[in-house]
Structure 1
Amino acid sequence: MALNLALETASATKPSPFLNSIFMSTVSTAAKTLATVAKAASGELDGQKWRPKDHLRYMLMMMIWMTVWVLRVMVDHFPCSIIQSPPAILDGLVSGRSSSSDSLVLHEEFGDGSSTNAIGRALSHIFALVNETPATSRKYQFAVAMADKIVDENAREGHEYLAEINRTALSAAFSRTSNLLYRSLQTMHSIYQHSDDTSTWPARVIHSLPLGSHLLSYFKGICFCLGSFFPSSSPDTSRSQKQLAAASDVTWVAGGDESVLAEKLAQELLWITSKMRLCSAVEEAVVQWSFATGLASLSLTANTRVQGSIVKITAILMRELARGEFEAGRQVKFRIFVLWLPLLCYASNGLTCPVLTGFEKGEMERVMEDVISSLPATDQEVILANWLQDFTVSCSDWPNLQRCYDRWCRCSRKLLL
């Protein structure tokens, strides 16, 4: 009873998810407006005066950033109980949390066999909390530090049972985080597909022009901004503007939230992978990564920052494959390269979003050549043929596996002769 009362009190003072979603969508809109104003200012600092629309754009930016500041204060200091979740949902959440929290309470002595795995349950619980806590929360870094502390203390003890607890908890966290990242990227993909729908004749005309998809996004943004300042009296015009504004609003709000969530989950997955490498548990990550077909496909169209984290994860796992400290099967190595080499070729690897240094890129090319050379000739043919196709189409010069391809050609000639 006391636990339920404490949880109800905590939920009453916690900022509502609806308020957090408003804050994140406003931040996304403010960032895009700031980028637009900065681009306009950089092109007009040659002595010319601002035009009226430039002043209007600047005032709109200042109003949005003031709204961000007000929402940040509300999220941090005011519970805003009016827009909290309905009582029935809260009751379900409280009962669910109390049941999961009660499982962590030790009613027995530490010497009993039923409570010896309590540290494993606590570690898994904290990893789940890290996934659920927004990155903007003041307690997010606290949860990450708690997970780091427990994993490091278990590793310092040097006991095999504690090492197994670390491996189990990290493997489960890797699986859960990669699944959440896949769902987030899948949601973003469906949102952007929905935003391409054209329901009015001006949108259809613009969409039919060269580069129409890019022009249509600007058209929707202009209609959304102008519609809020200059509402039209015509019913048909007002209806079409509302449709365009709603479409652009849904794309900015939902797409912006999912983009932030995907970036957060990708960084968490990179952090978990690094902990697995330090705890000698990276073998489970390699196996799971070799079966992440959906995630590999969606990562090709993901945000560059999300791609950067995924490229780093793939680099870590390929290095561990090359070290040979664990026995990885032929199929695991083959699937890792078939699934993730396209991302390495197409991802942004240097200019706007640096991922690997020049030294790391050269090292990774040698690592990939060593692992590919250890596979049978038929597997090498499939991997290198796919790499050659992606490498010649992409604008990136990395990874350049020409030496490995030439070596495979020489071996094939020897086999033929």
Structure 2
Amino acid sequence: MFKKITLRNYRTHRDTTLELQPITLLIGNNSSGKSNFLSGIQHFSLLIRRGNPIKEEDPIVEARDYFPHRYRLANDDESMSIEIEWSKNNHFVKYYMELYKYVNFAENVACREKIELISNQSEVQRFENGYQAETNLLELQSQIRTAENIKEKELLNDFFRDFAYTFSYHLQPSFLKGIVEDPKKRKFDNDENSDENRIKIRIPSDLGYEGGNLQNLIKHVKNNEERVFSRFLTLMRRFASKNFQGIRYDDKKSQLLWEFDLGRTTTDRLVDEFSPNVISDGLIKAAAIALLVSIQRPPALILIEEIENGINPGNIQELIYWLWQATAPNQQDFTPQFILTSHSPSVLREFHQDLHSVYTFRLNKRNESDVRSLSKALDILVGIGTIEEGEIIEDEKTGERQVQIPKYKLAELWYDGIIG
């Protein structure tokens, strides 16, 4: 599980740290830096993926990895970096990567990496790359794989895999419905049932940032992944108040048809069928999220921007409930975490008992994101009596204080401009 992520000098984030929960919510307006934080996570995730020795990619850091993303008011001697804290089965990992200007390399960029491992209260094990001599190669993973004296090698590999395969989404109805063709969409044949073809299809990556492959993936799971499709249908029927009946593929039209029971009695048809382009934006977006939470082995970290866009406020509760269900521990130990962004009080209200999972974002005059824990901010207001309806609950074991505020009061604070 990811415990903490810190970005330094990435776009608008001079020095931003988030303590991650099973679901972490970032709220603020469109220019506050919420998207920049998710972009930073994805940026360094791709760099870690590039440094995987199993991949055939060249592990060199390039100018495009550094200069376009660096906080523009940072000092010349300051690097751009990420720091990650992660744990699994009482093992704790802290990873650090930084990129900095170095004119002796062709791309004028160098990198450093280090990772610390603490296992069962033993001494800290440290592994480094780029500290003894300047380098532009992401070689730490390769060094760990070839080392013979690392007992917890598989654990470190688990960390790298979890972060490397972080996926970010900003789901757009026009892509989800197939109205706009995604030029990056990978083609695959859903009708091929062999094990070889199944292995090639990875739902989180093939879905695409805007969701351009959703229709193909639904067809694939319907034909090949019965358990996933059954779970998907169950969620969709709950979301659509049981009017949604199912999906079938029309060979003549070469598209999926979405089936609904509209209660008609003047026709012989038991259900009405609709092509994706006339399905509501909210339902089609919910379908993408339902598919992600239905797969048996989801990514360890899923980033979803503006989750409320297109969703009826009355359905937000059901959508957030899906995510909480997905984060519950299971027998396979494949439990994702989510980071969501939003600018809607409808989403914030669903966190009235989990305000420690919420961060507020705003942009200051130096084009720097000011990020604060909503729980800590409201703790002060509740403590001095400004918010009378709030309640502070202190954990007897840890001493941590958590603020709980009624849903309606959170909405009032939002509209009054105190939060949001």
TM-score when normalising by structure 1? 0.22
By percentage of residues, which structure has more strand? 2
